[in-house]
Chain A
Amino acid sequence: GAVVSQHPSWVICKSGTSVKIECRSLDFQATTMFWYRQFPKQSLMLMATSNEGSKATYEQGVEKDKFLINHASLTLSTLTVTSAHPEDSSFYICSAPRGGVGYGYTFGSGTRLTVV
């Protein structure tokens, strides 16, 4: 149980275009979703926290206008990379709390974004 489905798993887009990444909680209600970015051979860097029905909270240094996060329902959170540039190429992962506070988090399978 507690599955987060993330799509697409990989995407290639042209510079200047926008890309939307979706994370759906399949068997539970995700009131909170965390979005991470991971560079090759590095750890996960928290980008933002989204809560259903309210504005996302962004970490310092993350451009709010470039990385638009929407959490309109209890089962869907989206990250839109707007006007993508090659430096936005990365691996993006979503994560939601599962079960009680001590049960860690369940992660989506990640999205590999390549901007050409």
Chain B
Amino acid sequence: AQTVTQSQPEMSVQEAETVTLSCTYDTSESDYYLFWYKQPPSRQMILVIRQEAYKQQNATENRFSVNFQKAAKSFSLKISDSQLGDAAMYFCAYRRTNSGNTPLVFGKGTRLSVIA
């Protein structure tokens, strides 16, 4: 079974600085998708960024980027120029790509605080 591990329960960053959230996963499959979701105090889950395992190029979405190391099974999220609105729980998630709709496998989350 696939597992996702987020080893940092809490992180903090100064406004305008950069922070990196860690995520590792375990799978025997070669093709899959990885995601970072943000859950602000409203508790609405918001997709931040996604990465296809067969793509070597790291995904980027504005201030958010990932460092995808497939061999190491690592998928970290970098937030640049941190803003107060970035404060939230961040969940790393994994999805298989075989046929059928399979659920996301979530890590335990990292709570990010942004200090003004």
Contact = CB atoms under 8 A, between A and B. Distances in A.
B43 A110 contact: yes
Chain B interface size, under 10 / 10 to 19 / 20 to 34 / 35 or more: 20 to 34
A104 B97 contact: no
Interface in A2-36: 31-32, 34
A102 B47 CA distance: 12
Interface string B7-46: 0000000000000000000000000010101000011110
B62 interface: no
Given A93-B45, A109-B43, A104 B103 contact: no
Contact of B108 (A32, A43, A97, A104): A43
Interface of B: 33, 35, 37, 42-45, 47, 50, 52, 89, 91, 93, 95, 97, 101, 103-104, 106-109, 111
A34 B35 contact: no
Interface of A: 31-32, 34, 38, 41-44, 46, 49, 51, 91, 93, 95, 97, 101-105, 107, 109-110
Nearest to A91: B43
A32 B95 CA distance: 15
Contacts, number: 52
Most chain A C-beta atoms within 10 Å of own C-beta, residue among B35, B104, B106, B108:
B104
B50 A102 contact: yes
Contact of B47 (A46, A91, A104): A104
Given A104-B104, A107-B45, 20 more contacts: A34-B103, A41-B89, A41-B111, A42-B109, A43-B91, A43-B108, A95-B45, A95-B103, A97-B101, A101-B33, A101-B97, A102-B50, A102-B52, A104-B35, A104-B37, A104-B50, A104-B93, A109-B42, A109-B44, A110-B43
